[in-house]
Amino acid sequence: MRSLKKDDFKKLAKNQSDDESSRETGGDLDYIYKGIFDASFDEAAEKLNPGEISGKIKTRFGFHVIQLIEKKPPKMASFDEMKPGIQKHLFLEEAKKQVAIYIEKLKQTASIETFF
């Protein structure tokens, strides 16, 4: 696992990433918590030392390369610290449900032709 300057990794992520949101931030995911991503992602991050870059990591979303900048010791977060993330998660889950309901309504009223 090789090291790379943080700015160099940022440039690579901006130029090479297929993921729009992480491309915009130069691959910076901020601090991540174990269990948020696929287990293979967590396992790779756990093995890294600050400044190191992982090998290719395969998840259900595709392939990833990560650079660990800093590790923080685990701590119990307060509700106030977690509240914005919880709100965002709940909002996105509800939005997904509402979009699915809307699509089903459209399907019921739409005239759909299938061509083979």
**Domains of the chain, residue spans:** 6-64
> What's the chain's length in residues?
116
Give the per-residue pLDDT at 1: 46
pTM of the model: 0.55
| Residue carrying the six token digits 């919880």 | 86
CA distance 16 to 93: 29
Structure tokens given for 59: 């998840």
The β-bridge partners of 63 are 58
Let me know: does 22 contact 29? Beta carbons within 8 Å.
Answer: yes
Segment 14-43 shows an average pLDDT of 85
Q: Which fold has domain 6-64?
A: Chitinase A; domain 3 (3.10.50)
Chain-wide mean pLDDT for the chain? Answer: 86
Cα angle 16-18-20, degrees, rounded to a multiple of 5:
110
Confidence bin at 99 (pLDDT 50/70/90): very high
CA distance 70 to 32: 11
